[in-house]
Amino acid sequence: MPKSTFFNLPEDKKEKIMDAAINEFAGYSYHRASINRIVEKSGIAKGSFYQYFEDKKDLFKYILEVSGQKKLEYLNGVLADIENLSFFNLLRELYTGGVKFTRENPRLAEIGYRFIKEKDRDLKEQLMEESMAKSNRFFGELLMKGIKQGDIDPDIDVELVAHILTNMSIWVSELFIKELKVEDDMEIMALIDKMLYVIENGIKSKKEGK
Query: Is position 122 within any domain?
Result: yes
> In b/e form, how buried is each residue of 58-76, taking b as 16+ CB within 10 angstroms?
ebbbbbbeebbeebeeebe
Domain assignment present for 137: yes
**pLDDT of 63-104, one tens digit each?**
988 988 888 888 877 677 677 788 888 888 888 888 788 888
Domain membership of residue 70 (yes or no) is no
CA distance linking residue 189 with residue 59, whole number of Å: 35
pLDDT of residue 175: 67
Residue 123 sits in the same domain as residue 23: no
Asked whether 75 and 97 are in contact (CB, 8 A), the reply is yes
pTM above 0.85, yes or no: no
Last residue of a domain, one of 35, 59, 83: 59
Same domain, 18 and 117: no
Q: Which domain holds residue 156?
A: 75-201
Q: Mean per-residue pLDDT for 14-34?
A: 94
Which of 72, 87, 82, 103 minimizes the C-alpha distance to 196? 87
Work out the average pLDDT over 185-190.
74
Q: Where is pLDDT greater, at 79 or 105?
A: 105
Reply yes or no on whether the pLDDT at 42 is more than 70.
yes
Measured distance CA(156)–CA(125) in Å, rounded: 26
Say whether pLDDT at 59 is over 90. Answer: yes
Q: pLDDT band for 143, please (50, 70, 90 cuts).
A: very high
What pLDDT does residue 173 have?
66
Residue of 1, 45, 49 lying closest to 21 (CA atoms) = 49
The residues, ordered by sequence, that sit 6+ positions from 102 with a Cβ below 8 Å of its Cβ are 108, 109, 112, 173, 177
What's the CATH code of the domain at 48?
1.10.10.60
Helix ranges (H only) for 105-157 are 106-116, 121-149
Q: What percent of the chain has pLDDT over 70?
A: 90
Instruction: Residue 100: count other Cβ atoms within 10 Å of its Cβ.
Output: 16
Q: Does residue 133 sit within a domain? A: yes
User: 190 with 91, same domain?
Assistant: yes
The better pLDDT of the pair 134, 46 is held by: 46
Q: Is residue 208 part of a domain?
A: no
CATH number at residue 132: 1.10.357.10
Q: How many domains, the chain?
A: 2
Task: Kindly state whether residue 161 falls inside one of the protein's structural domains.
Answer: yes
Domain co-membership, 42 together with 87: no
On whether both 79 and 52 belong to a single domain, the answer is: no
In the predicted model, what is the mean pLDDT of residues 149-176?
85
